[in-house]
Structure 1
Amino acid sequence: MNKKRKMFTICVVFVIIISCKNYTSGEDVKKSLEQDLKGKVKGFLYKILDPVKDKITSSGSKVDEVAKKLQEEEDKVKYIEEVNEQAVDLGEEREENKEKNEKVINAEEKEEKNKEESNKVVDLGEKETEVKKETKEDEDKEKIEEQKQKEKKAQERKQRQEKKAQERKQRQEKKAQERKQRQEQQEKRRAESKIKTLTDKIDRVNGNIDNIERQTSVKPKAVIDKITGPVYDYFTDDDKKAIYKTWGDLEEENKGLGKLLKELSDTRHKLRTKLNVDNKPYTGGKEPDLKENVNVIEIKSNLEELKLKLEGVKSYLEDRSKFNEIKGYITDSYDD
């Protein structure tokens, strides 16, 4: 009986060892449990087998005690097997979880990588957009700058043209002013010259009157040539030379120089009539015959009156307040 128990015990031990070997794996948890289990089994074998070998011939009570301990150890072995199975399941579950986690991690990494790629694409797109925007802004700036330069050049060209036009206008105005001044000076000199010519003629006629008045008789032809003729030609009646006929509308004026010249013309006509035979006036056509001689006493009053009228015209011509008026008459007569 004792031999059977010992054999049973030895078999159980080997079964446990073999069982423990069947649960080994490459995982860290299984190795840890296997090493722990092997240690406990070896310890158990050392505790059990050595005493069994040494005390194989011991009493029955010792065998019973050993059997009890074997039963307890068997229970422990079962417990350990259950724990080992749970550990194996746990290891498998962890392996599955690890695979799942790896898949999740891989998926997350892939998603992150895709996200990074997408971000890179977005960044590239944004950079491209930004570059295009900057390029467009630069082009716009260049266009604006070109437009500004064109406007500036146009403005400068306009200013130069305006300046040239202004300078040309100023030169023209200056020339016109100079021409006007020269013309005014010319008109002034011409007017002064004409006035001087007329006043000199008046002085000459008046001098001739004085000479005739000192005589007792005179030839009518001498009176005509020295007195009535010059008055007729330069002051009163000649259509081409007399100022009364050529200076504006003096014939229609009843004041000023026109009135003086009209009175001078009438006075000259009276004197001229007394030079004709029988004092016959000239009415057109053939002129009346002249007297052979004329007594100065007969025409003296006419000479004095004519002299007075000539002095009136001379005073008017020499009046500086009337100069522009006289100059206007003279200028208009030259223009005609």
Structure 2
Amino acid sequence: MNQKAFIICAVFALIISCKNYATSKDLKQNPEGKIKGFLDPTKDKITSIGPKVDEVAKKLKQEERELMQGDDPNGSGINPPPTLLENGNDNTLVPIAKSAEQSGDQKEEKSGKVEEKKEKQESKEEKVEEQNQEKKQKKEERNVKEEKQKQEEERQKQQEEARAKAEKEKREREEKQKQEEEKKVKGRIKTLTDKINEINRDIDGIKGQTSIGAEEVRDKITGPIYDDFTDSSSSIRTTWGDLEYEEDLELGRLLKELSEARDSLRTKLNVDNQPYIIDTRSTEPQLKDNVSVSEIKSDLDELKSKLEEVKEYLEDKDNFEEIKEYVAGSEDNYDEED
């Protein structure tokens, strides 16, 4: 197959050579004879090669007819003949060999360029795929980060709500406790002021009489003052922080003065106005049967005045917090009275 291709190329080279060497004069005188004499051996050789060379022979005949018709008389456009080299039985041309070599090189170069282009395209596609993967990874990382941030914000929100709820409940408890304490203090103050009002009414009732039994005065006046205000273990003077020993405080001073006024009246109720000194070795003096109101009137007035001072202190709103502390530290809280 390679031998056939080589012969075909040689034929075309010979045709071109014939064109270049033939002068216009030779062509005019005997073109047919010269061309036939030059081409006959070649045609015989080609015919012997096989059916595939027939087509080349036909092309040669066509060239022969074109030559017989004549070229440009001046020979213009006819190229100079290429250099021939002998190689065994075949005559070859350097330009044909070079042309074939260049054609192969061009094919290889083209193939190389196609391969290079393909590699560049694949590299570009790989780069695009890598960029897409990178974008996808960054997007996933961003989504994970946003989800973590969302969860953290939700956790903080829940903590904040729980903290706010706890603080609210604490404030409500404290407010409720404060209200209960205030209610208790106000109830205790009311109980004491009601007792004072009751004692003062009784004092006014006694002052309207000329004579009264000493026991009635004790039960209505000096006894309640002793029990609730001044001297018993359940009195506010004892239970409200030992005010008996805190005379520098306003309430302590008022209760001390109330206790002294009460002792003065209590002594006048005893036989021979004998004072009652409370200790383990003495007994309570005997009470008189009756006492003259005029005899105890000044003591009743003094006692009523001291009771009013204690009442004013208890009702003063500026003293509420101080009283609240007294009640909170009390050892014995009295039941509230309606």
TM-score range, shorter chain: 0.5 to 0.7
Could you say if the C-alpha distance between residues 252 and 173 of structure 1 is closer, same or farther in structure 2, counting changes exceeding 3 Å? same
Q: Is 2:26 the counterpart of 1:29?
A: no
Q: State the match for 2:300 in structure 1.
A: 303
Distance 2:107 2:208 in 1: 146
Describe the superposition over 1:97-148 as per-residue Cα deviations: whole angstroms up to 9, x where unpaired. Answer: x844444444444444333333344333333333332222222222222222
Give the TM-score normalised by structure 1. 0.64
Residue among 235, 245, 261 paired with 1:242:
235
Say whether the 8 Å CA contact 1:281–1:288 is kept in structure 2. yes
Q: Is 2:327 the counterpart of 1:330?
A: yes
What does 1:256-267 align with in structure 2 at a 5 Å threshold? 256-267=250-261
Q: State the match for 1:122 in structure 2.
A: 116
Could you say if the C-alpha distance between residues 219 and 112 of structure 1 is closer, same or farther in structure 2, counting changes exceeding 3 Å? farther
Q: Is 2:269 the counterpart of 1:281?
A: no
Distance 1:256 1:99 in 2: 143
Residue among 201, 216, 219 paired with 2:195:
201
Describe the superposition over 1:257-302 as per-residue Cα deviations: whole angstroms up to 9, x where unpaired. Answer: 2221222223223333444455233141143322333524443332
Partner letter of residue 293 of structure 1?
Answer: D
Q: State the match for 2:45 in structure 1.
A: none
Distance 1:268 1:110 in 2: 142
Could you say if the C-alpha distance between residues 38 and 112 of structure 1 is closer, same or farther in structure 2, counting changes exceeding 3 Å? closer
Q: State the match for 2:130 in structure 1.
A: 136
Percent identity between matched residues is 35
RMSD value, Cα: 3.6
Partner letter of residue 276 of structure 2?
Answer: P
TM-superposed deviation, 1:308:
0.9
| Greater C-alpha Rg | 1
Q: Paired residues, what number?
A: 264
Q: Is 2:298 the counterpart of 1:291?
A: no
Distance 1:30 1:137 in 2: 65
Greater shift, 174-183 or 314-323, is seen at 174-183
TM-superposed deviation, 1:198:
0.9
Partner letter of residue 280 of structure 1?
Answer: P
Partner letter of residue 318 of structure 1?
Answer: E
Say whether the 8 Å CA contact 1:217–1:293 is kept in structure 2. no
Q: What are the ranges of 5 or more consecutive residues in structure 1 without an aligned counterpart?
A: 1-24, 43-89
Which secondary structure does the structure 2 equivalent of 1:295 belong to? strand
Q: State the match for 2:145 in structure 1.
A: 151
Which secondary structure does the structure 2 equivalent of 1:199 belong to? helix
Could you say if the C-alpha distance between residues 302 and 27 of structure 1 is closer, same or farther in structure 2, counting changes exceeding 3 Å? same
Q: What are the ranges of 5 or more consecutive residues in structure 2 without an aligned counterpart?
A: 1-12, 32-79, 87-91, 334-338
Say whether the 8 Å CA contact 2:214–2:291 is kept in structure 1. no
Distance 2:93 2:332 in 1: 126
Say whether the 8 Å CA contact 1:213–1:300 is kept in structure 2. yes
Residue among 305, 309, 316 paired with 1:319:
316
Could you say if the C-alpha distance between residues 127 and 228 of structure 1 is closer, same or farther in structure 2, counting changes exceeding 3 Å? farther
Partner letter of residue 316 of structure 2?
Answer: D
Which secondary structure does the structure 1 equivalent of 2:279 belong to? coil
Say whether the 8 Å CA contact 1:27–1:91 is kept in structure 2. no
Distance 1:213 1:263 in 2: 21
Say whether the 8 Å CA contact 1:220–1:290 is kept in structure 2. no
Distance 1:238 1:245 in 2: 7
Q: Is 2:184 the counterpart of 1:190?
A: yes
